Amino acid sequence: MAELLVVGSVALDSVETPFGKVQEVLGGSATYFSYSASFFTQVRLVAAIGQDFPEAHLRLLQDRGVDTQGLQASEGRTFRWVGEYGYDLNEAKTLDTQLNVLADFRPKLGEEARRTPFLFLANIDPELQLDVLRQMRERPRVVALDTMNFWIHGKEEALRRVLAKVDVVTINDGEARQLASEPNLIRAARAIASMGPRTVVVKRGEYGALMLAADTFFYVPAYPLESVYDPTGAGDTFAGGFMGYLAAQERVDAAAMRRALVYGSVMASFTVEDFSLKRLTRLKPADIADRYTAFHDLIRLEP
């Protein structure tokens, strides 16, 4: 079992979906990622929080064994994101982004963190993603990255630089089209692969996830759910399952990558069943195993 390092956002999210509304609940790309990955392997979290960040949120992560020593608290307010979804839960509409402590965040990696073999650069300013990559003592075995429209718009040049240095990118379908300036998703995935990463995972919400690796496509549908309340964090939870599984196996061959894609989908299918991390906090390892089996049955050709 190898260790996994993540740098990303820790947030207080306010979210409205057709099924409810929450104010300033625990969120953030690194939060969902590390909580999800903690079911598979040892996770170190590097992120910024403000003085207003509730202790209870911290304990939630620590109770899952997440190493929070890399959480840098500073004067000021925690990052806040305000978003909304219509009945089409695949598309988040950002109403407000308050960077707050993220605006001046400079990640400082401890000596141990700098040697972590699996690294996930969760959705955050690409300049910070580059900064973390620079601090690694040796090239990690796998570096994966996620991003979103906010950074594709605002920091495209830095994003291109970091993309050239990673092995895997996970990205939403809309954002893949935007990054590649290409409406066709297959072409968009190929175009992103040509920017550097040898594996491109396109997340398609309720339509599943598509992976392009070594010129071969693999596709996993989303788990068919009757009750979806809030898709926030699905992408990061997916990445947590994906990277967590790879780090736990210490394998990155084609078979492991395919199974990792299924574990990512399994984890994401839980997150959307409630707001914030509520469903994940009730999750048992047996639930993950059961849903993995259910996925297997879902996509198996022979009955």
**Residues at the site binding ligand AMP, with contacts judged by CB under 6 A:** 9, 11, 13, 27-29, 32, 81, 97, 123-124, 150, 232-236
How far is residue 269's CA from residue 265's CA, in Å, rounded to a whole number? 6
Tokens of 131: 């900064």
Query: Max Cα separation, the chain?
Result: 58
- Closer residue to ligand AMP in complex, CB, 71/124: 124
Please give the C-alpha separations between residue 249 and each of 6, 155, 214, 259, in angstroms, as whole numbers.
Answer: 18, 34, 20, 11
Q: C-beta of 228: minimal distance to ligand AMP in Å? A: 13
How far is residue 10's CA from residue 57's CA, in Å, rounded to a whole number? 10
- Closer residue to ligand AMP in complex, CB, 148/248: 148
Q: C-beta of 150: minimal distance to ligand AMP in Å? A: 4
Tokens of 222: 């989303």
Q: C-beta of 38: minimal distance to ligand AMP in Å? A: 16
Is the alpha carbon torsion for 204, 191, 264, 145 positive or negative?
Answer: negative
Q: Position of tokens 């718009």? A: 153
How far is residue 44's CA from residue 111's CA, in Å, rounded to a whole number? 12
Give the β-pairing of 43-49 and 4-7: parallel
One-letter identity of residue 158: A
- Closer residue to ligand AMP in complex, CB, 11/209: 11
- Closer residue to ligand AMP in complex, CB, 89/180: 89
With 0-12 / 13-18 / 19 or more C-beta atoms within 10 angstroms meaning exposed / middle / buried, residue 115 is middle
- Closer residue to ligand AMP in complex, CB, 223/249: 223
Q: C-beta of 77: minimal distance to ligand AMP in Å? A: 14
Q: C-beta of 32: minimal distance to ligand AMP in Å? A: 6
Q: C-beta of 183: minimal distance to ligand AMP in Å? A: 21
- Closer residue to ligand AMP in complex, CB, 249/271: 271
Residue nearest to ligand AMP (CB): 27
